[in-house]
């Protein structure tokens, strides 16, 4: 085997690995404190409210709801718990009436793939959904949702939340 025959494979591997980020190997829940608060936004989905509790021990909790035309459309409940010294984002969805979308023992698991001051990136293991939380000012939290649609095409939604006073 010579360099000329393996070089294209090496270059491909570098390009592929550079396009996706690896899971963070060490972080703690306290680094996510910037997300804490009650955040609201009006969108085409409806009136949105996302609550994040302050970090407590090795966890955080969140509840989310969308209300359209005066009726709850759906809910989310999230816990972030440290596992092996890294926060893991565990999400469940519910229809009106508290009817769960996910199996009772299988929440959606988003792994922390990036962390910096006032910003965190989470992603499903299969990379089909990516979430970014970023505090852009003391009263503004942006959440970017990138997910594959039914045809496998990436869709991006940006939620510009304001802190509820």
- What's the number of domains the chain is made of? 1
Please state the pTM of the whole predicted model: 0.83
Supply the pLDDT for residue 7: 36
Domain-located, residue 39:
yes
Domain-located, residue 16:
no
Share of the chain above pLDDT 90, in %: 75
C-alpha–C-alpha distance, residues 23 and 8, integer Å = 26
Which domain range does residue 115 map to? 23-163
Q: What is the mean pLDDT of residues 32-49?
A: 96
User: In CATH, what number is assigned to the domain containing residue 59?
Assistant: 2.40.128.20
Q: How far, CA to CA in Å, does 150 sit from each of 20, 101, 122, 130?
A: 21, 17, 21, 16
Domain-located, residue 92:
yes
Domain-located, residue 78:
yes
End-to-end CA distance of the chain: 66
Domain-located, residue 8:
no
Average pLDDT, the chain: 88
């Amino acid at each position: 085997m010579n360099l000329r025959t393996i070089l294209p494979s090496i270059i491909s591997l570098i390009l592929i690995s550079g396009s996706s980020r690896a899971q963070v190997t060490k972080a703690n829940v306290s680094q996510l404190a910037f997300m804490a608060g009650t955040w609201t936004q009006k969108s085409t989905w409806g009136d949105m409210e996302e609550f994040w509790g302050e970090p407590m021990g090795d966890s955080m909790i969140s509840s989310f709801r969308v209300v359209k035309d005066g009726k709850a459309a759906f809910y989310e409940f999230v816990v972030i718990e440290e596992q092996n010294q890294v926060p893991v984002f565990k999400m469940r969805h519910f229809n009106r009436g508290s009817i769960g979308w996910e199996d009772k023992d299988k929440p959606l698991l988003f792994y922390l793939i990036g962390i910096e001051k006032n910003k965190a990136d989470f992603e499903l293991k299969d990379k089909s959904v990516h979430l970014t939380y970023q505090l852009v000012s003391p009263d503004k939290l942006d959440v970017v949702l990138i997910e594959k649609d039914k045809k496998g095409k990436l869709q991006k939604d940006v939620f510009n939340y304001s802190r509820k006073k």
